[in-house]
Amino acid sequence: MQTRPAGASGLTLPVLGVGCFAFGGGAYWGEQSQRDVDEVVAAALDHGVNFFDTAETYNGGASELALGHALRGRRDAALIGSKISPDHCYRAEVRRHCEASLTRLGTDRLDLYLIHWPLNANSLRHYTADAARLARPPEIGEALAALDELRREGKIRHLGVSNFGAAQLAEALATGVPLAVNELPYNLLSRGIEPALLPACAREGLGVLGYMSLAQGLLTGKFTSLDGLPPMRTRTLHFRGDRPGSRHGGPGCEAETLAALAALHAAAADAGVALGDLALAWAIGQPAVTCTLVGARNRAQLEANVRAATLPLSPAQRAELDRLTAPVLDRLGPVVDYYQSPTDSRSW
């Protein structure tokens, strides 16, 4: 498996990583057997896909537990990344939550530990209703200072952030605490980081982890309409704001998204490959993204992702895919937070 450096951090990651949101099972992705998790992790390691991305909030900690179980006996072959929720980033709380993640994962160190969302009231209200916390979110300086203490102790190898916009990233870097990566949404239908944020990360020597690489299933090839996805996965700015669970409240971008999806299906058919393979190959082919994360519910899905990681795309093919999805990018603009309206974004 090809690898790339995560900016200037000294951390090297495979171009394909395993997103572990479904591990442990839960309301968002449904049931997930530990046997399948074990097989996915084992197959991933065998293919050199050795980076696993989880979070304390994924399925209430069950994702970390499942990943830790699957890595028994092979921990040293893996790179583990986890994330701390923004409402836990007060200086007095960081250590406890980091150590809880370490315990669930059955390890003495995290290779990468990220702040899951920027530290503002909009972020916190998705994790807590505590009025005092919403009135005074943790400050980035206190959060990173506490995390850096753990890094110096060896409990964390590298630090990073997730979903930070350019201004928030600049504020984090101004603390002087070394950061390795910014984890950001990136796929053919979610290209909002291309105009400014990808270049900003490159200038600052940060790697980028790309998540939501198959648009939560929309780019797998299984869907030709926007109505087949479960309601939990139709809440982004691509969909109308009156769909169940949506909170952006806007008109959405359904006409452009549906047209792009139809064009992508046709492009995949012309190329003789599955749409999911084409979409994932496109994401991995972005040199400014260090590691593209994608989930796998079973070994067959993991093998398909590995196949896509080795699918070559010519410059002409990539340019054509960019052209086909440009109307979605033009309509949505330089978005980081695809769940909130631009006037109420958590990321800026």
Cβ atoms of 81 and 54 within 8 Å: the answer is: yes
Domains identified in the chain, total number:
1
| Banded pLDDT at 286 (limits 50, 70, 90) | very high
The two structure tokens encoding residue 16: 């394909």
Inside any domain, residue 228: no
pLDDT > 90: percent of the chain: 100
Inside any domain, residue 226: no
- The CATH number that applies at residue 45 is 3.20.20.100
Amino acid at 15: V
| pLDDT tens column, 153-195 | 999 999 999 999 999 999 999 999 999 999 999 999 999 999 9
Distance of CA 305 to the CA centre of its chain: 16
Note the pLDDT of residue 58.
98
Inside any domain, residue 330: no
Inside any domain, residue 165: yes
C-beta neighbour count of 247 within 10 angstroms? 11
Note the pLDDT of residue 315.
96
Structural domain of 90: 3-221+281-315
Inside any domain, residue 327: no
d(CA 269, CA 252): 28
Cβ atoms of 215 and 190 within 8 Å: the answer is: yes
Arithmetic mean of pLDDT, 59-72:
98
Kindly list the distances between the CA atom of residue 273 and the CA atoms of 220, 223, 264, 279, in Å, as whole numbers in the listed order: 11, 16, 11, 10
The two structure tokens encoding residue 266: 């046709």
Q: Give the predicted TM-score (pTM) of the model.
A: 0.97
Distance of CA 339 to the CA centre of its chain: 14
Inside any domain, residue 331: no
d(CA 165, CA 133): 22
> Could you give the dihedral angle defined by the CA atoms of residues 82, 333, 123 and 137, in that order, rounded to the nearest 10 degrees?
110
Cβ atoms of 98 and 144 within 8 Å: the answer is: no
| pLDDT tens column, 233-259 | 999 999 999 999 999 999 999 999 999
Inside any domain, residue 334: no
Cβ atoms of 216 and 30 within 8 Å: the answer is: no
Inside any domain, residue 347: no
